[in-house]
Amino acid sequence: MSKRTILILGVLVLLGLVSGLFTGPIEKALGIPQAMQQAQGNPKINMPAANPPGAMPADNNQPNQPTNILATDTFQRQNQPSWGIASDGRQWGGDINKPSFSITNLKGQIAGGQGALEAIIGLPADNVEVTISGSINQFGNNVNLGIVLRWTSPNNWYKAFIDGNQLVILKSVNGQNSRIAQVDMKTNAGVAYTLRFRSLGTVLSAKVWPSATAEPQKWLVVDDHTFPTGQFGVRVLEQPTTVITITSFSATTAAIGNKI
């Protein structure tokens, strides 16, 4: 073999070695992605799993549920003794296990009782506004329909009620009742009324109107600092022939922005 042939072979071997050493850096410098190189060697590339058919994508911007609702009951449940569990899942307390209380024809009913009866719900709170709608079959002596706020026991509470002739705000301190505000207000038996009672700081305010009419602007207002907090609910006075029906109950947080 001639020296020229040996020289050419040596050059070719040297070029092959240089090419093998610098192929990787050259590809990297040219911007060939490593993932593409792997894919060329392994065509099965793992992709993110798609949502199953019919599945909804995650939504992190869902609106928050209202935080000012303290309790609500529409009484839309089957006939039963006691008021039991309200439509919002909260448990009624107080006298609701007495025979006078029932769910009848999709209404909360209090019938055939004697004296004071009450249904209490919710956690203790200070600033609360309760609204109920309902009717009473007859007014008379020791018969009324009302809302209690800041209830701490059967003997300590504020109450706003209608008795056929007046709208009254009453307080009971250790069982001693006293009227702290009242206004003449004719209400008729068998007519559905909406009663609203609010505690905001030391200010108590109440109003009532026939449910089929527009809500009035005027409130009955009084200032009292006896009870700072407590539960809320419905409190009535009955005679054995009295039938009171409640179609809705709602309790919300009262705020400074509420107008009187």
Of the chain, the end-to-end C-alpha distance in Å amounts to: 116
Query: Structurally, how many domains does the chain consist of?
Result: 2
Q: Quote the pLDDT of residue 9.
A: 53
Euclidean distance between CA atoms 75 and 119, whole angstroms: 13
Q: What are residue 231's DSSP bridge partners?
A: 151
Residue 32 has pLDDT above 70, yes or no: no
Whether the Cβ atoms of residue 174 and residue 151 lie closer than 8 Å to each other: no
DSSP state string for 96-115 = TTSTTEEEETTEEEEES--E
Q: Per residue in 221-236, pLDDT tens?
A: 999 999 999 999 999 9
Euclidean distance between CA atoms 229 and 179, whole angstroms: 19
Q: Check whether residue 111 and residue 25 sit in a common domain.
A: no
Could you give the 3-state DSSP secondary structure of residue 259? coil
Segments forming the whole domain that contains residue 138: 69-253
Q: Is residue 47 part of a domain?
A: no
Q: Per residue in 62-100, pLDDT tens?
A: 334 457 999 999 999 999 999 999 999 999 999 999 999
Q: Check whether residue 24 and residue 78 sit in a common domain.
A: no
Whether the Cβ atoms of residue 202 and residue 183 lie closer than 8 Å to each other: no
Q: Is residue 49 part of a domain?
A: no
Q: Check whether residue 80 and residue 198 sit in a common domain.
A: yes
Q: Is residue 101 part of a domain?
A: yes
In the β-sheet with 176-184, what is the strand arrangement from edge to edge? 93-94, 115-125, 230-238, 144-153, 156-162, 166-173, 176-184
pTM value is: 0.74
Q: Is residue 237 part of a domain?
A: yes
Q: Read off the pLDDT of each residue in 182-211 and give the average, rounded to a whole number.
A: 98
Q: Quote the pLDDT of residue 255.
A: 84
DSSP state string for 17-50 = HHHHHHHHHHHHHTT--HHHHHHHH------PPP
What's the one-letter identity of residue 82? Answer: S
Q: Per residue in 94-152, pLDDT tens?
A: 999 999 999 999 999 999 999 999 999 999 999 999 999 999 999 999 999 999 999 99
